Structure 1
Amino acid sequence: MKLPFIDLKSQYEAHKDEINQAVLNVLDSTQFIMGQEVKTLEETLAHFCGTKHALACSSGTDALLLALMAYDIGPGDEVITSPFTFIATAEVIAFLRATPVFVDIDPANYNLDPTLLEAAITPKTKAIMPVSLYGQCPDMDAINAIAQKHGIPVIEDGAQSFGATYKGKKSCALSTIGCTSFFPSKPLGCYGDGGAIFTDDDALAKKMRILLNHGQEERYKHEYVGINGRLDTIQAAVLNVKLAYFDDEVKARERIGARYSQLLKDVLITPALSKDCTSVYAQYSVRVPNREEVAKVLNEAGIPTAIHYPIPLHLQPAFTYLGYKEGDFPLSEAIAKEIMSLPMSPFLTEEQQDMVVGALKETLC
């Protein structure tokens, strides 16, 4: 038996009739762009996170891009972020011809280390973009305090942490702007690309809504140069169904993540849960010194693994022009060589989890 890495099939089967009907309703309406389902989703998302505004958009990457565009970030500006994340975080900064500035990570939670943040701030710094990696938020109070001291906005990249909490508040509601992704494998995923932006700021929300629709507030009247960042109605319909069950799935993720950690605590380095934080375990990632060998053995036993992420951003060919070199961010580099993600979803059974744990213990012990 080969385990699924993320069990989207079981999730679909659990809600199949509702999802199919929601999609058929959109097909019958023929309102494929900006249909009522998008508005419903935005209202539900805002209520879920506790923000004044939620804007559905075409992807998590575009959510980050629109947030930066709202602040007119461009050539000559710097944005501080983590080198240990998916490329989209820094990609959008570079796309606007601004400069990504990296700060190393906390070895416990793999998120941006606030104690290193202030040293990276310069007069050119226009935003800080911390990443809530693997489903857990960084120390947002510390990051926000430093940002406020310097008059810099904070944009949370919550692509992997939607549903997680920090001191009782939801991820994406912890800073000036929060962004998330609804890529199918994310904790809340649609059946294509999708994302959302969250803010309490009326002016920012208005500007981003204009920007995501080709910069037009009225049809054919373009206030800004924008993008086509709209979420299509079918994806919104799927998300509306799945969001109704999301709280239960978050609880299941927390339970499964905690069980993994309990079973593996004496075998390898498991994810550390920071004080006052919950995690949605978008990835359950452990550290394995002999990763390639272990992954090979697990794969042969029908257990898929993944690496998130094998090469830190400062060592990516696309960012050679920034002038970073190996050794500049030692923690990111060391963890990138050991990190390995295990099968994880709200539908992972204890039997399947025991299969993963048993194979790991047999390989490592």
Structure 2
Amino acid sequence: MEFIPVNQPLLDGNEKKYLNQCIDTGWISSEGNFVKQFEEMMAARCDRQYGIAVSNGSVALDAAITALGITKGDEVILPTFTIISCAAAIVRAGALPVVVDADPVTWNIDVQQIEAKITPFTKAIMIVHIYGLPVDIDPILELAAKYGLLIIEDAAEMHGQTYKGLPCGSFGDISTFSFYPNKHITTGEGGMIVTNSPHLAEKCRSLRNLCFQPQKRFVHEELGWNMRMSNLQAALGVAQLERLDTFVQRKRKMGELYNNLLADMASIQLPLPQTDYANNIYWVYGIVLKDLLPFDAEAVMKKLADYQIGTRPFFWCMHQQPVFQKMGLFAGVSCPVAENLARRGFYIPSGLALTEQQIQQVSDALHEVLQ
């Protein structure tokens, strides 16, 4: 039986053609034309004025936090159920991450719990869209307006997704994306910052390029990073972005097929197909084991590995990360919904290259393992 990886990207468009152009012209560094083209295409896709390509989605958050002036003494509200990059960017800036529990149905931040977390030190709310459905954004924008807060939108998993018809990546002061191989659009490694603020765009461009100065290149007033995206990566991004609508359609069909094949399994919670503000794009196809099963996600994942099925665990909660606990963060914090998702949730193969036959094979294995 052939192994089915949890993700395999689809690279059968213009990727080779554009990469060959980079090689033939010699433009393989961050100076090539594909970088600017990718930035402009991504910004337009998000209804944003500016795009700043960077080396990955994690440093996109670092630059966004720094550009917004978030620093020591500030607090930033974010979901506890997310990738560590979100909290790490806040901590590295010297600010304090304040976590909120997850919604048990959408797996996104529980919007109803946010306002109680706001203090005089709160400077921003970080919206993080999780797995396939966007956060319910309007109530958060209302809170931001009410309390004068900044909004950082992490849309790393939401390529092509919309909220009430508006593109994810178009909300708040600044938004970020990741182009890791498991995303709808991949550049291998890579990220993007999008914004409508010329000041923030200029600041992020400087931060990604070691804060070189135009007139005195090697005289530095500030510290930045080398987080540039190469022309080779951007060439991949342009080719991928050309087919984003097709990719989203393909992902939704895969999600629907899984929904149909797994509908008879009363022991698992499947992803919510839609809300009143969005349809799921199934970035990954997540499963949560219900309480009636006497084992956790780790046990099921090990059994599926015996069937040659690749899986990944759900995110581990930020407030239970050992690295943050060693720093004295999150003492006494409890987020029961997210804690349950972290222990009883995992996702199954759902990459763009996945075939219907492989989806059937995954379904058959799940039925046998969970009988």
Give the TM-score, by structure 1 length. Answer: 0.93
Q: Distance in 1 between matches of 2:323 and 2:302?
A: 29
Q: 1:209 pairs with 205, 218, 231, which one?
A: 205
| CA contact 1:181–1:194 (8 Å) conserved in 2 | yes
**Aligned-pair RMSD on alpha carbons?**
1.7
Is residue 2:186 matched to residue 1:184? no
Q: Distance in 1 between matches of 2:276 and 2:260?
A: 17
Q: Which residue of 2 aligns with 1:334?
A: 340
| CA contact 2:132–2:282 (8 Å) conserved in 1 | yes
* 1:194-205 → structure 2 map (5 Å cutoff): 194-205=190-201
- Pair 125,322 (structure 1): closer, same or farther in 2 beyond 3 Å: farther
The count of corresponding residues between Structure 1 and Structure 2 is 358
Q: Which residue of 1 aligns with 2:17?
A: 21
| CA contact 2:153–2:169 (8 Å) conserved in 1 | yes
How much does 1:255 deviate?
1.3
Matched residue type, 2:278:
C
Matched residue type, 1:274:
T
Matched residue type, 2:264:
D
Q: 2:157 pairs with 157, 160, 167, which one?
A: 160
Q: Which residue of 1 aligns with 2:270?
A: 270
Q: Which residue of 2 aligns with 1:35?
A: 32
Task: Please identify, of 32-41 and 20-29, the stretch whose mean Cα deviation from structure 2 is larger.
Answer: 20-29
- Pair 218,43 (structure 1): closer, same or farther in 2 beyond 3 Å: same
Q: Distance in 2 between matches of 1:25 and 1:306?
A: 36
Instruction: Report SS of the residue matched to 2:125.
Output: strand
Unaligned runs of 5+ in 1: none
| CA contact 2:286–2:348 (8 Å) conserved in 1 | yes
Q: Which residue of 2 aligns with 1:357?
A: 363
Instruction: Report SS of the residue matched to 1:134.
Output: coil
| CA contact 2:182–2:351 (8 Å) conserved in 1 | no
How much does 1:46 deviate?
1.3
How much does 1:343 deviate?
0.2
Q: Which residue of 2 aligns with 1:318?
A: 323
Q: What whole-Å deviation, never above 9, does each CA across 1:139-180 have from its counterpart, x for those lacking one?
A: 111111111111111111111112111111111112221101
Give the TM-score, by structure 2 length. Answer: 0.92
* 1:41-190 → structure 2 map (5 Å cutoff): 41-190=38-187
| CA contact 1:34–1:230 (8 Å) conserved in 2 | no
| CA contact 2:314–2:341 (8 Å) conserved in 1 | no
- Pair 42,87 (structure 1): closer, same or farther in 2 beyond 3 Å: same
Matched residue type, 2:174:
I
Q: Which residue of 2 aligns with 1:235?
A: 233
Is residue 2:314 matched to residue 1:308? yes
Q: Distance in 2 between matches of 1:127 and 1:65?
A: 14
| CA contact 1:249–1:346 (8 Å) conserved in 2 | yes
Task: Please identify, of 247-256 and 288-297, the stretch whose mean Cα deviation from structure 2 is larger.
Answer: 288-297
Q: Distance in 2 between matches of 1:255 and 1:68?
A: 36
**Displacement over 6 Å in runs of 4+:** none
How much does 1:312 deviate?
1.1
Q: Distance in 2 between matches of 1:188 and 1:155?
A: 21
Q: Distance in 2 between matches of 1:173 and 1:6?
A: 27
Unaligned runs of 5+ in 2: none
Instruction: Report SS of the residue matched to 2:20.
Output: helix
Instruction: Report SS of the residue matched to 1:65.
Output: helix
Task: Please identify, of 255-264 and 131-140, the stretch whose mean Cα deviation from structure 2 is larger.
Answer: 255-264
Is residue 2:280 matched to residue 1:282? no
